[in-house]
Structure 1
Amino acid sequence: MNVLSDGNIKFNRRTLILSLADQDGGAHVDPTLDEAYVNLSRNNSLNVFHEYKPVKGVVLASVRQIAFDITRTLKDKYPLCFQ
């Protein structure tokens, strides 16, 4: 299931998290970034704007949402682990 798509390039949860971790400082900083990831994380390829200004941080916000969803799912399934 895709979580982000600019019409041409699609990112699912796995590719989004691995791109962040492998290229942008999660595990290390890669000197050469994948073009699709650069367009998403640096060039606003989703064309998201707020008050006529491009919104930055779409990747980080998406990964935070994925982490929240995973935590909520685990908390519902294993409530004793979250007491």
Structure 2
Amino acid sequence: MDFREHLQRQLGFLERSCESYDAGYRDEAIRIATIIRVLIHNTKASTSLLQHLNATTINLFSTTSEPSPQTLFFVGLGMMRMSSDGKNDYFPQLGDGPPISTFVPVPKWWEQVVMVFGGHRISRRDIVLAAANKDGGAHVDLKLTPQYEALAQDGSVGAFIYETQGKMNEAPIEDAHLVSLRQLGYEVLHSPELQALAKGI
């Protein structure tokens, strides 16, 4: 079995899922989670592609810093956009976020805390595995993890507060879990060492 070919295929899947998300199919983010799980996550019953390729210590692209243990609120993967006409959005920052970009080994990338709110400290691993294992990526589960359920709840990471015609309005931020997954897809696709591995360089 050519695991490098499988890596190329998975990265192709990931690129197309990201394109679909950007075209408006936001629930495609769940498929992004499944692909990342295939690349990285090892269990007693399954081996990740990176493990098969002896590449579990390569560096992946990280677009966020890690919050300190004292941090009470941190949203590292999305950005808010507010306009005077009340059209507000919460979206993946892709390459437009703060200049914090770093490259970190796969284990650190996987376990890095990227969201803090409501007493939850959520890592990339938490988001990916809950989406893939419980929210329809590879399985559907009646009960989600508390962290993921909180992240998926409207308003979990805040709300837009704006004024129209002298009246104050509040709109909860929606789909923070999907926004986060799209950003993770961006990070994986923009990881030079992973791309080089796929090309056999």
> Please, what TM-score do these two structures have when normalized by structure 2?
0.35
1:66 corresponding residue in structure 2: 184
CA distance in 2, matches of 1:47, 1:63: 18
For 2:144 and 2:131, locate their aligned partners in 1 and report how far apart those are by CA, in whole Å.
Answer: 10
Q: Could you report, residue by residue, the CA deviation over 1:22-60 in whole angstroms, capped at 9, with x for unpaired residues?
A: 121111110122233222102432224365211111111
Report which of the two has the higher share of helix: 1
Which sections of structure 1, spanning at least 5 residues, go unmatched? none
How far is the alpha carbon of 1:76 from its aligned partner? 7.8
Cα 1:50–1:60 shift into 2, 3 Å: farther
Q: Rate the CA distance shift 1:42–1:77 in 2: closer, same or farther, 3 A.
A: same
AA in 1 matched with 2:124: R
Query: How many residues of Structure 1 are paired with residues of Structure 2 in the alignment?
Result: 81
Gaps of 5+ in 2: 1-111, 163-169
Identity of aligned residues (%): 28
Higher relative contact order (CA 8 A, sep 6+): 2
What is the distance in 2 between the residues matched to 1:80 and 1:30? Answer: 33
Give the whole-Å Cα distance in 2 for the aligned partners of 1:76 and 1:28.
Answer: 27
For 1:78, the equivalent position in structure 2 comes to 196
Q: Which moved more, 1:10-19 or 1:44-53?
A: 44-53
Partner of 2:14: none
Give the whole-Å Cα distance in 2 for the aligned partners of 1:80 and 1:36: 33
Task: Assess if the C-alpha contact under 8 Å between 2:122 and 2:147 holds in 1.
Answer: no
CA gap of 1:40–1:68, structure 2 versus 1, over 3 A, is: same
Q: Which has the higher strand share?
A: 2
C-alpha separation between the residues in 2 aligned to 1:69 and 1:50? 30
Alignment of 1:34-73 (within 5 A): 34-49=145-160, 51=162, 52-73=170-191
Tell me the TM-score normalized by structure 1.
Answer: 0.77
Counterpart for residue 93 of structure 2:
none
The structure having more radius of gyration, on CA atoms, is 2
Cα RMSD (Å) of the superposition?
Answer: 2.5
